[in-house]
Amino acid sequence: MNDGFSSAAAGFPDPFRLLVRESAASTNDELRSLAENGAPDGLVLVAQEQTAGRGRRGAAWFAPTGESLAFSILVRPSEPKALWPRLALATGLAVAEAAEAVGAAAGIKWPNDVWIGRRKVAGILVEAGRDFVIVGIGINVTTTAFPDEIQDIATSLRLETGIEIDLPDLLATIVRRFATHRSRIGPGFDELIDSVRERCVLSGHRVSLATAEGRIEGRVTGISDTGELLLRTPEGTRALIQADEVRILE
């Protein structure tokens, strides 16, 4: 194990265990391979360098070495598969709470981003296998300069707080929070969703969403008791379980 992350691993609750890679193309892809070969629930794979990180729809994820935290968590849920998408909300809440713990007022952009103000500080990629889920997390931690194409929409914990953030400490905090929230995607989901609602940055806004049936526009009225985004459209209120892209229009 890399000594820099040994302190983080010491703070993990059971059954979480840490595996460190100096370099990985994608922590999600590497952990999926391990999962398919029998790796246990709770394995956390962190890469000091991620060379081909990706977000939803295969988009590249900007993750400078030493400036960001890129890791994935293997979950083998006991809950029915229909409830697995709730892990995205549980993860978003864990990351938002960790950001709040270092002084950043974080919000959740349903279903898979964490924002500070109107800028993205973290992205979450949840991918299901036959009997497991890979939860990928990428967080901008100490980055102070972004590429031109994202500089107006991205931020980091360092930019927002002005303080140095220890990567292992941040990892340990997120895993501890995630350990609590992952157990609430079945019983206890009402408590989890209330905390998500408090941080939802979309409520009240008119948005455009890319879905499997095409692009939909409407005004967000909230999040349902079962985690769907509630969207008021000219045709009536829609309850959406997922979307590939969500843009705030006003």
Q: What is the pLDDT of residues 128-168, one digit of tens each?
A: 999 999 999 999 999 899 988 998 999 999 999 999 999 99
Mean pLDDT of 95-120: 96
Instruction: Return the CATH number at 227.
Output: 2.30.30.100
The verdict on 70 and 176 lying in the same domain is yes
The verdict on 229 and 173 lying in the same domain is no
**The pLDDT of residue 3:** 55
Check residues 63 and 226 and name the one with the higher pLDDT: 226
Instruction: Indicate whether 2 pLDDT > 70.
Output: no
The verdict on 121 and 170 lying in the same domain is yes
The verdict on 8 and 33 lying in the same domain is yes
The verdict on 142 and 176 lying in the same domain is yes
Whole-number mean pLDDT of the chain?
A: 92
Instruction: Indicate whether 54 pLDDT > 70.
Output: no
Instruction: Return the CATH number at 185.
Output: 3.30.930.10
Q: For a pLDDT cut of 90, what percent of the chain falls above it?
A: 76
The verdict on 221 and 112 lying in the same domain is no
Residue 212 structural domain: 206-248
Instruction: Indicate whether 231 pLDDT > 70.
Output: yes
Task: Please state the domain count of the chain.
Answer: 2
The verdict on 127 and 227 lying in the same domain is no
The verdict on 95 and 218 lying in the same domain is no
Look at 58-67, 114-123, 212-221, 224-233 and tell me which has the smallest mean pLDDT: 58-67
**The pLDDT of residue 1:** 46
The verdict on 17 and 141 lying in the same domain is yes
**One-character DSSP codes across the chain:** --HHHHHHHHTPPTT-EEEEEEEES-HHHHHHHHHHTTPPTTEEEEEEEESS-B-GGG-B----TTTEEEEEEEE--SS-GGGTTHHHHHHHHHHHHHHHHTT--EEEETTTEEEETTEEEEEEEEEE-SS-EEEEEEEE-S-----TTTTTTB--HHHHH-S---HHHHHHHHHHHHHHHHTTSBTBHHHHHHHHHHHBS-TT-EEEEEETTEEEEEEEEEE-TTSPEEEEETTEEEEES--SEEEE--
The verdict on 47 and 115 lying in the same domain is yes
The verdict on 73 and 130 lying in the same domain is yes
Instruction: Indicate whether 45 pLDDT > 50.
Output: yes
Instruction: Indicate whether 51 pLDDT > 60.
Output: yes
**The pLDDT of residue 7:** 81
**The pLDDT of residue 5:** 82
| Banded model confidence at residue 104, pLDDT cuts 50, 70, 90 | very high
The verdict on 36 and 154 lying in the same domain is yes
